[in-house]
Amino acid sequence: MNEKVHNNNEVTMDQLMNQMEKPAIGRGRVKAEVHSILPDGVFLILDGKLDGFLPESELVRDINEYKKGDELEVLILKNDEEQGQSVVSEKKIYHKIAQKKVEDAFKKKENIEGIIDEEIKGGYQVTLLKGIKAFLPGSESMYKRGRAPLNKKLNFRVIKYRKQRGAPNIVVSLKEIKKEYVEKYFEKFELGQIVSGKVESIKNFGAFVKLNDYITALIPASEISWDNTKRISDILKIGENVEGKIINLDLNEEKISLSVKQLTPDPWLDVLGKYPVGGVVNGEVKNITPFGFFVALEPGVEGLVHISEVFWGNVKKDLKSVVETGEMVKVLIKEIDDKKRTISLSYKEVLGNPWDNVSEKYFQDKIYEGKVVKILPMGVIVELEDYVSGFVPVSEISWNFVDSIEDVVKEGDMVKVKILSIDEENEKMRMSIKQGEEDPWRNVIENYSVGDKVTGTVKRFTKNGAIVLIDECNVEAFLPISQVTIRRIEEIEEELNIGDQREFKIIKVIYQPENDLRNMRVSIRQLLKDKEQEEARKMIDQMNEGIDESGETSMEKQLKQIQEKMENSEEEE
C-alpha cells in the first residue's frame, strides 16, 4: 500500500494501521466518508474508523471527481482481517438506485441523463446515470452514421424497459424528446408571432435560423427584404441573431417559415399615394435586360422601362449605351398595378419627343449632314440627331447604278442628305444622299456630246454588256456587247476584263431630270470603225498623189517594196 495519497494528504502506513481496527463482520449497506484518494481507490472512514477501501473499479464517478470529506453510501463486499480493512462498493448500491430511477423515468415518461458510448450495429450503446447500459436505435437517434457526439451528456427518453435475468433490456430515444418538445413549441406559438434565433446557414433559396436545439426555421429568399435586388448575404450573416415573423407553421412537417421583411411596413401600401401616374420621379437603374431596364424608386418598389419607352421611333440601340447599372435617371410614371405590384415607366417621355418641333429645325429641299445608322435591303436609315432619322431609298443613294449598297455607303458613315419630304404625324422623313451633291449629269450634258471620246474603267458585266465608269465626269455609262468589237462575239469576257481602262466613244446621251432619266451609251466598235475609215481615207489620198518619173504611183511603189521584202525574206530562209 502506498504511503503517499492524493489531495495533498500525507499519511504514513503506521498512522493508517493505528487508526484501523478489525473490521466489522457482516455489515451490509453503510454510510462512509472519504478520507483520502489513492491511485487505485479511495480510503473511507466507516463508523468513525479508517477501515474501508473503495477500489477504483467499484466507483460510480471518475476517481478525480472524489475529494476528502465526501459522504458516500457503500456496500461491504468483504472483510480482510489480514489487511485490517473492509473492501466496499459504491457501484452496487448506486446501480440499484440508478436502475430504479430509469424504471421510474420509463413509467413516468420523463427524460433521463446519459451519454453515447459508441456506435454499434443498428444504433448506439448508451450509458444512463453513469452505470445503466441501454440501446439507442439509429432511427431514434436523429443522427447520421458517424455523426453522433460520443461521451457528451444528453437527455434520453426510455421507450422500452423490460426486466429479465441479469441486466434489464432498456431502449432509449432522442427522437421522442424532440417530438414532444416540437409539439409543445408549436402549441406555444402562432402565425404572426415574432421569434428570434441564430443564423445557421445561408443558401440561394433562403436562410436557416436555429430557434433552439430541436427546431430550425427557414427565412425564404423572398422574405428577406422588400428590395428584391438585395442578396441574402447583404442582409444576414452566419452566426448573428435575427428576429422574424412567423408566416407558416406546419407541425406534421415540423416546418416553420419566418419573414424578416414583414417586420417593416410594406412599401407598396402607399405606392399609389406617393407616385401619381404622370409624375416624374428619380430612380436608380438596377438591372438592364434585352427588353428594357428596371428602376428602383425606393427599396422594395421597382418599375420597368420597356424598350419601347426608351427610344423615340423604331430605334434598336444597345440599352447599355443609354444607361448604366447604378445610374440615377428621371422617369415618368405611366401605369401602376398595385395588386400585381408592377409599375410601367417611361424614359423617353421625360426627354421629350424631338419630333414635336422637327418642323422648326428641318425643312424640305434643304441639305443636312447625318449618320448612316442602318443598311436595309431597300435603302438606308440616316440619323440627323437622336431619334430623328429618315429613309433613303436605293434609287436616292447614288447618281450611278447601285448594285450593292455597302459598296457605296457603310454604317457609321457621315453623309450629306437632302430632305425630300417630312411626315410629322407619322414621324417619317424621305431623304436623298445623291441629291446632297451636285448632279454630275448636268456637267455631262453641258460638256459632252454624242461622238466625243472619253476614257473609263470597266466596273462590272451585265447580261447584255458592261458598266463603265467614265473618268472625266464620274458617271456610269453602258457598253452594249454589240459595241465591244467589230466582229461578232458571244461572251463579253472574250474581249474585256473587270478593271480594264479603255477609250470609248459616246454614242447616246439622255438627260431628262424631270423624268429622272439619265443615261449614256458608249462604244469601242465605233472607235475601231472610225480608225478603219481614217486609214482608208489616207490610202485614197496617197493613191491620188502624182506619178513619179518611173511612171509608177506611190501606191505601186509601196506594193513593190512590200513584195521585195517578202522575196528577200524567203531567200534568207
pLDDT digits (tens, 9 = 90+) for 82-119: 667 889 998 888 888 888 999 999 999 999 999 999 99
Q: What is the pLDDT of residues 415-437, one digit of tens each?
A: 999 999 999 888 899 999 988 88
pLDDT, residue 5, reads 42
> Where along the chain do its domains lie?
13-89, 94-179, 189-263, 269-351, 354-436, 440-523
Closest CA to 374 of 360, 389, 386, 355: 389
pLDDT band at 140 (very low <50, low <70, confident <90, very high): very high
Q: Is the pLDDT score of 404 beyond 80?
A: yes
- pLDDT average, residue stretch 453-467: 91
Higher pLDDT, 549 or 536: 536
pLDDT, residue 287, reads 92
- pLDDT average, residue stretch 365-393: 93
- pLDDT average, residue stretch 191-210: 92
Enumerate the β-bridge partners of residue 453.
505
Q: How far apart are CA 386 and CA 509, in angstroms?
A: 43
pLDDT, residue 11, reads 46
Closest CA to 330 of 354, 350, 301, 305: 350
Q: What is the pLDDT of residues 550-569, one digit of tens each?
A: 555 555 566 566 556 555 54
- pLDDT average, residue stretch 176-183: 86
pLDDT band at 321 (very low <50, low <70, confident <90, very high): confident
3-state secondary structure of 155: strand
How long a stretch of residues is the chain?
573
pLDDT band at 544 (very low <50, low <70, confident <90, very high): low
pLDDT, residue 184, reads 83
Which run of H or of E encompasses 557?
helix 554-572
Q: Is the pLDDT score of 25 beyond 50?
A: no
- pLDDT average, residue stretch 24-40: 80
The superfamily in CATH containing domain 440-523 is Nucleic acid-binding proteins (2.40.50.140)
- The single residue listed with the C-alpha cell 434609287 is 395
pLDDT band at 203 (very low <50, low <70, confident <90, very high): very high
Mean pLDDT lowest among 69-73, 396-400, 488-492, 542-546: 542-546
- pLDDT average, residue stretch 157-181: 90
Give the CATH number of domain 94-179; options: 3.40.50.2000, 2.60.40.10, 3.40.50.720, 2.40.50.140: 2.40.50.140
Give whole-number Cα distances, 180 to 186, 217, 278, in Å: 10, 17, 59
- Asked if 13-89 and 440-523 have one fold, the answer is yes
Q: Of all residues in the chain, what percent are helix, strand and coil, respectively (each to 5)?
A: 25, 40, 35
Give the CATH number of domain 189-263; options: 1.25.40.10, 3.30.930.10, 2.40.50.140, 3.40.50.300: 2.40.50.140
pLDDT, residue 334, reads 95
Radius of gyration of the chain (CA): 56
pLDDT, residue 286, reads 92
**Inter-residue contact 461 to 502 (CB < 8 Å):** no
Cα angle, residue 274 at apex, residues 270 and 278 outer, rounded to 5°: 130
- pLDDT average, residue stretch 497-512: 91
Q: How far apart are CA 343 and CA 334, in angstroms?
A: 8
CATH fold for the domain made of 13-89: OB fold (Dihydrolipoamide Acetyltransferase, E2P) (2.40.50)
Higher pLDDT, 202 or 20: 202
Q: Is the pLDDT score of 4 beyond 50?
A: no
Q: What is the pLDDT of residues 221-270, one digit of tens each?
A: 989 988 877 888 888 999 999 999 999 988 888 889 999 999 989 999 98
pLDDT, residue 318, reads 86
Helices (H), 212-347: 232-235, 271-274
pLDDT band at 491 (very low <50, low <70, confident <90, very high): confident
CATH fold for the domain made of 269-351: OB fold (Dihydrolipoamide Acetyltransferase, E2P) (2.40.50)
pLDDT, residue 112, reads 93
Q: Is the pLDDT score of 498 beyond 60?
A: yes
pLDDT, residue 562, reads 57
Q: Is the pLDDT score of 1 beyond 70?
A: no
Count of C-beta atoms within a 10 Å radius of residue 387:
21
pLDDT, residue 550, reads 55
- pLDDT average, residue stretch 287-294: 93
pLDDT band at 27 (very low <50, low <70, confident <90, very high): low
The rounded percent of the chain whose pLDDT value lies above 90 is 48
Q: Is the pLDDT score of 311 beyond 60?
A: yes
Determine phi and psi for 450, rounding to 5 degrees.
-60, 130
Q: Is the pLDDT score of 12 beyond 50?
A: no
Write out the three cell numbers for 376. 436595309
Q: Which CATH class is domain 354-436?
A: mainly beta
Mean pLDDT of the chain: 86
Q: Which residues contact 89 (CB under 8 A, 6 or more apart)?
A: 54, 55, 58, 74, 75, 77
Q: Is the pLDDT score of 300 beyond 80?
A: yes
Closest CA to 15 of 41, 43, 54, 34: 43
